[in-house]
Every structure is written in C-alpha cells, then in structure tokens.
A and B are shown apart, each in its own frame.
Chain A
Amino acid sequence: MDTDVYAVALNNTLNELRNICPDISTSFIFTKDGVVVAADEAATEATMNKTMGSLHGLQDTMASLGGLNTLLIDGAAGKLAISTVNDMYLATAAAKTADLHHIASVARVIVPTILKILDGLAPTPPDRAPSHQLIVDTLTGFFVGSTVEIDPQVLGQWAELLDRKEIGEVEIEAFSGEKTQCKAKEIGDEKIKGKGIIRIPEKACKALHVKKGELVKVRPAAD
C-alpha cells in the first residue's frame, strides 16, 4: 500500500489520540533512521529533530541495555514517553498529571493495529490481467526462437497491474480460438514500438493460424 496512506492514517490516529487524551501535548512517530513517519498537528520540526538527535545520542547506551523498549522522562511540569512500536519510535509528551505509561501502552496497541488493518486493506493484485488486441507481425529468420516481442508499454502495464517485476510469458489467442503460450520480451526495434504490434515467430503463427496484419488477443500467462 502507498506509504502516504499509512502516513495519513497514522497522522489521524495521533490526532485522535490527542483528542481522546487531552493530557497529551504532542506525539509523533519516527523510524530508527531518523525519518518522521507521522506527527500530530502540535508537533514541530525543531522538537522532532531534537528528539531524534537525543535518541541518536542514546544509541550506545540503549545497546548495552539490549535495545530500547521505552524511555520515560518525568519532569516537574510534564512527562515524555518514547517507546518502540513496530520497529519505529513513538514519542508522546503529556501533562504532569497524565498516566503516560498507560497512554504509551494504549498507543503501542493502537498503532500496530492500525498498521495491520491497513495491510489487510491493501488491494490484492488480480490473478489475470485483461487481454490486449495486438496486430501480428511475423518474425522470420534462421535465428528466430520461440519468444514473441511485445510493446514495452503493454508489458509494463501488465507488470504494474499484476504487481510483478516483469512479464516473462504470455498467452496468445487467435480469433479462431487457437491458443498458444510463448515467452515474451520487449520489442527491440524502435520503429515499431508503441504501435500495438506483437512480433510472433513464424512457427507460432502457423500454430495459431494467423498471418501478418491480423489481430490476436494477448494476455500475461498465469503464474
């Protein structure tokens, strides 16, 4: 799922947490590498940067204690808790009267739950991509193998839709109903790129009973 969606959801969560617990003055989430993931409306950049700087300063100390679980600071006028949540840090500052341990515990339940729900809502890639109608161009020659050549744009669309790194094999169907499955690669010839052409080796054309200039339906082969 898009990281922006996580950020928006977590920002809202932190703002809601502050609405529910007015004792909270500010809260924000940052990674161990010092990247702010989410922050409520009260969090300032200076505060967040200084907090990350202090955590960096405590790194060796935390290592000798076995890594940081929670850092609680109790001052005469307020409190601060920094706790580890899903491999990130959640910093929460609150008024003196707040039960910060409780607030931090609640946040440590809510934040991972939100992240888990968001993961659950992530769209599942469809099993099959829609087919494209492409114009047949025949590949002839002694060194022509069995691989078809397809427009890179079409292959890219399928890869994105199916959440695959690349499309290595396609299913080709002629309008007569003949089908075959071939390995696929991008068209190398710049002159015919972007023209909706599929270059099919002669042998495969014969199997499909198609000729140059005819249309075929092409889609990525199932995994």
Chain B
Amino acid sequence: MPSKDNSDDAITTLRDSLQAIRSKKGIIGYILKAADSASVDLNDPSKIVDYAVVSATTLEEGEKLAKVFGLGDLNKVVLEGARMKLLLLARGDHRISIFMDKTVDHEAVGKDLNLA
C-alpha cells in the first residue's frame, strides 16, 4: 500500500527531525501524536500526563479560537508562559507539541522541523 508507506515515511522523517532538535539547548521535550499512535520524549517522564493535558487543552482551545475568528485550519499555536513555552504544530493527522524554555526561538525550532 503505497499511501501507508508514504505516511510511515513521513512519520519516520518527523521523528528523526524531532530527535535532532531534542538535543538542542532549552528543549524540554515533545509529544508527537498521530491518528492511532503517539511518541513522547520528555526530560522528566513523570510529567507525561501534565504535558499531554497541556498539549490537548491548547489544541482544543486553539481550534475553538480559530473557528471564532475565522482563521481557517489550524497550522500552529504558540503558548508562551513566564517560564516556558509550547509550540504546537498541526500537519495532517499529526499534532506535534514541543515544550521548550521561554528563551528558545520557537520559529527556529519550527524551521528546523521544516514545518513552521
């Protein structure tokens, strides 16, 4: 099935890219969610649930706001807090949440992933 092969290739490429940025200074971790699977890599694995909730809530409210303001399909959400920030990217069925220190340039992270 060529389409599944393509999808698998895309996921593999995405995982490789995420692994590459994972080693960068200030990156706290990521959650890659596909339709039927998820990959998680965080500095503190005990916070998986917390980060998953943050990611899901941000996506949910981001989609609501996109609808309210007629922004069309969601491409990217950046939630910047006083301590850290979340870059959430939506590509097809994939939702990529990258957690990083506040000082990290999220635009550069997105470019490194070739997704932003």
Among candidates A54, A60, A64, A73, residue contacting B71 with C-beta atoms closer than 8 Å = A73
Whole-angstrom distance from the CB of B9 to the nearest CB of chain A? 24
Give residues of chain A (22-70) contacting chain B, Cβ–Cβ below 8 Å: 25-26, 47, 50-51, 54-55, 57-58, 60-62, 64-70
Q: Mark B68-97, 1 if CB is under 8 A from A, else 0.
A: 111111111111111111100000000000
Query: Is residue A5 within 8 Å, beta carbon to beta carbon, of the partner chain?
Result: no
Contact of B74 among A25, A58, A60, A73 (CB under 8 A): A73
A78–B70 CB distance below 8 A: yes
Q: How large is the interface on A (under 10, 10 to 19, 20 to 34, 35 or more residues)?
A: 20 to 34
- A77 near B70 with CB under 8 A, answer yes
Chain B residues whose C-beta falls within 8 Å of the C-beta of A69 in the assembled complex:
80-82, 102
Given known A61-B54, A80-B66, contact A75–B81 (CB-CB < 8 A): no
Q: Is A144 an interface residue (CB 8 A)?
A: no
Q: Judging by beta carbons under 8 Å apart, are B73 and A71 in contact?
A: no
On whether the beta carbons of A74 and B75 are closer than 8 Å, the reply is yes
Verify B76–A80 contact, CB threshold 8 A. Answer: no
Contact at B66–A72, with CB atoms within 8 Å?
Answer: no
- Indicate whether B50 reaches chain A with its CB closer than 8 angstroms: yes
B77 contact from A64, A73, A93, Cβ within 8 A: A73
Verify if A117 is at the interface (C-beta below 8 Å from B).
no
B62 to chain A minimum Cβ distance, whole angstroms, is 5
A105 to B23, CA, bound (A): 30
> A75-B71, A93-B69 are known contacts. Are A65 and B82 too (CB-CB below 8 A)?
yes
- With a cutoff of 8 Å between Cβ atoms, the chain B residues found around residue A77 in the complex are 70-72
Say yes or no: A54 contacts B69, CB within 8 Å: no
- A72 surroundings in chain B (CB, below 8 A): 76-78, 80
- Return chain A residues, CB-CB under 8 Å to B58: 58, 61
In the complex, B65 has a CB within 8 A of chain A: yes
**Judging by beta carbons under 8 Å apart, are B83 and A66 in contact?**
yes
| CB-based contact B77/A67 at 8 Å | no
Least Cβ–Cβ distance between B24 and chain A, in angstroms: 19
Nearest CB of A to B61, in Å:
4
Contact B72 A78 (CB under 8 A): yes
Interface positions of B (Cβ within 8 A of A): 50, 53-54, 57-58, 60-62, 64-66, 68-86, 102
Contact sample, A vs B, 9 pairs, CB 8 Å cutoff: A54-B68, A57-B61, A60-B57, A65-B79, A71-B78, A75-B75, A76-B75, A77-B72, A93-B69
